[in-house]
Structure 1
């Protein structure tokens, strides 16, 4: 999205500036995650690298034309991954032997950022943005819950006023109890701030209120009762960068660390890409403009590649800042420029004031964001598993239990094993969930067609034949993916059904994919059942799946006449064949008026009188009896051809909703209601229909009231019968 003649520059400036002000206290918290293992001496470096990442993210996003409304910044997950990398590097012999170990570690953290940016760019080139949207929810939720737990743990020591390096066994010997008051006041303002004022973001208000409370308590009780303050931001551009590391340590040395950095960089790239997809979904919902996820990954990847090279830690899509930006009016990359400018101004002008912010305040803000990372979906899942078991079927409850288990497993690994292992467990869990969902039984339902019919309405005599013989037609509805893990279930079910059926229709309209094993299984089913004198027909297979099955040789065993567009057509053909075996051809039979349900109960003389009031309309091939919207002034009787009832679709096609064999009455609803026709009625071939107009029925009512009453009674019976069939179909669908 670029600026045009209707560009709302005020919205962009306000959106970017508001998001920047709200981001400052957050960057104070997240900026320390990556450098926490390096001690307080590197706190200033961590804060500057985080803010510098936000500034470069806004600037480079505008230069590379990022998605309008997108803002980037530090995220706890990426900071924790860098922190885990820093911890592992501290104990490495090559690091310990370096002339400046901490500087080398920090430069390797920046190198990991650049490396992650390159990977994110490759993600965009490989077009994996769409795939990332389909990461299973329990895996993503588990990772976020793990990050929330780690954030909470990192806040516990500052809450009681001690440093993060203090052993837990010594905490209560050196703690500062009043720091807890500052932390919980800050947390309370974060929660209640939006209700107090809409003009100041809750976190910004909490920053000022918490800091004021801290210094007021210092004035009353002294420094000894409260914890320390945060490190200050001494400038904007970091002192260390990858480019400086290349000069100081040499390219060869940094290249040697690539295998060590690669898994951490890959994890950061994956997290950054997921966060970006979430942000794009929010932007699309607010602006109603479809974003290009792969392009945004390339833009952010290139930005992080450059940012890491020039001394910044990762800046990725930040949902809270995006929401604030877009809701305030930010719509173009110009909002990113405003965001970068305000962040830089705060660092340059007020950076030294950051040192007044107590650690307890940042801990309170950290608790607020940790709680926000555990979304309502996780809470709802836990509540359902713990308290609402009786409301779910056993299979549904097992599915819920599996999902909750995955959430907690990934979160626990993140807390006790580290973020890297949690990412690995998440990948494995995603595969397990995919296989579990794909391995579900492919059979949706199986039924004989004794009480299930096509949409074709037939005469009562023909319906009696179908009710008696319909059990010879069976339908197997297949659902999901037909692959090596599920195809055998279909083979077993088909063999079981074949013991009672002479025709098996495999309904594949809900099949999403078929692999070679699934295609081979279908071929073997058709071949084996043919030896038992049982035919197999395919209905509703999507075009791509049908082409694949044909290419795999299934058309050799199942002739083209047994491939049907949908289940209704397949059922109609099966019914026609069944009736033909009993000497009935109701597709082309000529039916006299006396043989129709309209004249039931009338004497031959009364039928002749009724016939005199009816008009015979001759129609050519594919002729239309009436159209949607036409006045409903007549009832019709098909005499020698099938009549289809069609409704038009938005894409120009038509959908059949009913079909009437010769001898069937149709169009009676509009006649009785006096409303326009709701569909088209079309004959399949050259035909004639008998028409009884409303005004002619009124004439019969005057001249032959007994005939008119019987006709109306017959129409009521016809409608009742169709309602009963509809009820049976709905019951069967509900049972499936």
Structure 2
């Protein structure tokens, strides 16, 4: 179905325009300023650490956080998205710089930005949510391992010229230089880790990364510790505004750089939309996925023109922005402005920061990025999902991120086709896919709504709940103007479910819990019931019930409503 120009254009209207048009008050500005300052304090050490880990100088990370961070917030499709350099890019950026120099990275980032703009204009943002969860978990965990291995040199203070890009060659080089370990570097790294971990446990609202850097820097100066610092490796950092100043771009090598550019664009698109989805879950808002992709593309082009690194939406910094009270894109724009002020005023002092302390920051980032709980959880999924997870993970660690993503998606597609063929044979005559695109499944009971008590809503889904359809569950609660007290999800016509489907059910359950809604799932068939139990969804306590059929679901809903009324009457 064609889309008129006005409707098409609305997909790319920045959320900033929407916020300002709706009225922006002084209280909003004050809240956004506090949130922007909080995020800037978190982003300052991260930007420098990510740039160093990527094989370039610290100011490149700051330039990226300032330029790209401002553009992503000003033009993006999310109210509270915070953009900048992220750990996901480290492996690919490190390899590009080693092979093609920093000029090659500039060209790569430009190409990636144009790809993202094109993807947004072609309305491909909605396709990003069809990415299989095992692929995302696999390459994310693989990137975490790569980041960890890249920081061993600075954690141990090894005296070696450079760190190889390949995993085995890197660890072989570490083994050859292990005798050059510097106790001072190890002590500073351990101190930094201890501070960050302690603050996260006892003072989670404090800026742990920044405090760890300040303490480690103070200790290093006070005791004249022989540890490598930003100044000893990179010299003095520039304390001026970012300018159009970047190396010669090797346009003749464009074809060679296309795979890396695609990887950067893919990572930027997936991570930014994942971050926007997380933000929606925390705020109850809805982002514009295609508009977000265009903004990410413009931000990457802008970062490249100022000699920066690839950028995307940062999940951790976005969550920090929300928890700090950020209300609009102005918070992200102010975060960039505060970073610029920090860079102009604090640059002379940054040269004393020990690299071991920055490495400690990245070790924590790698641990957070690994999401080992999701990894372990997916290992309990069906064999096909485990195959996709492990294949993507090992290819990311031992070979190349581009190959890992391609192989993971292709393998996931084959696993899906196998499941579809098997489901069609077993469930002959059942309509597996809703061809008319209507969210209301064609198999729904026409008398369902008339039988529902007040305060109860129900929805019947049909067909396999796999990675291609799982995202539709996230939209169910948005269809009700007034949130119900009890929500019945009828799954009698769902023949199979995979890890992404279970993940979608957990997301739906989390949203129901936040809104005080009891979720009842009725009629699970044998395969979905086995997978759900195997992956531990039925172990969740409170707010979730499994029943055999719709009649049992109605009886349970009435019991829950009566129990709630009696509780209110007693409290009164």
**Match in the other structure for 2:451:** 647
Find out whether 1:245 has 2:280 as its counterpart. Answer: no
**Match in the other structure for 1:129:** 125
Match of 1:192 among 188, 192, 198: 198
Match of 2:111 among 112, 115, 120: 115
Structure 1 residues 111 and 400 mapped into 2: Cα distance closer, same or farther (>3 Å)? same
Once superposed, what is the RMSD of the aligned Cα atoms? Answer: 3.4
Match of 1:235 among 227, 236, 239: 239
**Match in the other structure for 1:208:** 214
SS at match of 1:442: helix
Could you tell me how far 1:649 is from its partner in structure 2? 9.0
Q: Where in structure 2 are the equivalents of 1:81-120 lying within 5 Å? A: 81-89=92-100, 105-120=101-116
CA distance in 2, matches of 1:106, 1:115: 14
**Which blocks of at least 5 consecutive residues in structure 1 are unaligned?**
37-42, 90-104, 247-253, 386-398, 445-477, 479-489, 491-505, 515-541, 546-564, 570-627, 629-643, 656-725, 732-736
Q: Judge conservation of contact 2:69–2:299 (CA < 8 Å) in 1.
A: no
Structure 1 residues 63 and 318 mapped into 2: Cα distance closer, same or farther (>3 Å)? closer
CA distance in 1, matches of 2:189, 2:152: 10
CA distance in 2, matches of 1:645, 1:407: 40
Q: Where in structure 2 are the equivalents of 1:153-232 lying within 5 Å? A: 153-163=149-159, 165=162, 167-216=173-222, 218-219=223-224, 222-223=225-226, 226-229=227-230, 231=234, 232=236
**Which blocks of at least 5 consecutive residues in structure 2 are unaligned?**
1-14, 164-172, 460-546, 553-572
Q: Where in structure 2 are the equivalents of 1:251-270 lying within 5 Å? A: 254-270=250-266
Structure 1 residues 289 and 107 mapped into 2: Cα distance closer, same or farther (>3 Å)? same
1:276-315 superposed Cα distances (whole Å, 9 cap, x missing partner): 1111112212322211111111112112112212222112
Q: Judge conservation of contact 1:183–1:363 (CA < 8 Å) in 2.
A: yes
Q: Where in structure 2 are the equivalents of 1:323-402 lying within 5 Å? A: 323-381=319-377, 385=380, 399-402=381-384
CA distance in 1, matches of 2:317, 2:80: 9
Q: Whose radius of gyration is greater, 1 or 2?
A: 1
Q: Judge conservation of contact 1:228–1:358 (CA < 8 Å) in 2.
A: yes
CA distance in 2, matches of 1:150, 1:161: 18
Structure 1 residues 159 and 331 mapped into 2: Cα distance closer, same or farther (>3 Å)? same
1:403-456 superposed Cα distances (whole Å, 9 cap, x missing partner): 333323222212221223223323323323432443332256xxxxxxxxxxxx
Q: Judge conservation of contact 2:76–2:296 (CA < 8 Å) in 1.
A: no
Find out whether 1:21 has 2:52 as its counterpart. Answer: no
Q: Where in structure 2 are the equivalents of 1:669-688 lying within 5 Å? A: none
1:208-262 superposed Cα distances (whole Å, 9 cap, x missing partner): 223233344x44xx52xx44546453234457745x637xxxxxxx432221221
Q: Judge conservation of contact 1:193–1:206 (CA < 8 Å) in 2.
A: no
CA distance in 2, matches of 1:284, 1:727: 33
**Match in the other structure for 2:559:** none
Structure 1 residues 125 and 175 mapped into 2: Cα distance closer, same or farther (>3 Å)? same
CA distance in 1, matches of 2:420, 2:406: 21
Could you tell me how far 1:66 is from its partner in structure 2? 4.8
CA distance in 1, matches of 2:188, 2:390: 31
Could you tell me how far 1:157 is from its partner in structure 2? 1.4
**Match in the other structure for 2:407:** 425
**Match in the other structure for 1:602:** none
> What number of residue pairs does the alignment pair up?
429
Match of 2:386 among 383, 404, 412: 404
Q: Judge conservation of contact 1:135–1:430 (CA < 8 Å) in 2.
A: no
More strand per residue:
1
Q: Judge conservation of contact 2:90–2:147 (CA < 8 Å) in 1.
A: no
Could you tell me how far 1:16 is from its partner in structure 2? 1.1
1:70-112 superposed Cα distances (whole Å, 9 cap, x missing partner): 11111122232121112223xxxxxxxxxxxxxxx22221121
1:346-369 superposed Cα distances (whole Å, 9 cap, x missing partner): 111111222211111111111111
Q: Where in structure 2 are the equivalents of 1:272-283 lying within 5 Å? A: 272-283=268-279
Find out whether 1:78 has 2:98 as its counterpart. Answer: no
Q: Judge conservation of contact 2:245–2:307 (CA < 8 Å) in 1.
A: yes
Structure 1 residues 26 and 568 mapped into 2: Cα distance closer, same or farther (>3 Å)? closer
CA distance in 2, matches of 1:130, 1:33: 32
Could you tell me how far 1:566 is from its partner in structure 2? 5.8
Match of 2:433 among 512, 518, 525: 512
**Match in the other structure for 2:68:** 57
Structure 1 residues 170 and 9 mapped into 2: Cα distance closer, same or farther (>3 Å)? same
Match of 1:289 among 250, 260, 285: 285
Structure 1 residues 212 and 729 mapped into 2: Cα distance closer, same or farther (>3 Å)? closer
Could you tell me how far 1:130 is from its partner in structure 2? 1.8
With normalisation by structure 1, the TM-score equals 0.53
CA distance in 1, matches of 2:62, 2:319: 20
**Match in the other structure for 1:315:** 311
CA distance in 2, matches of 1:341, 1:654: 48
Could you tell me how far 1:30 is from its partner in structure 2? 0.8
With CA pairs under 8 Å and 6+ residues apart, which has the higher RCO, 1 or 2?
A: 2
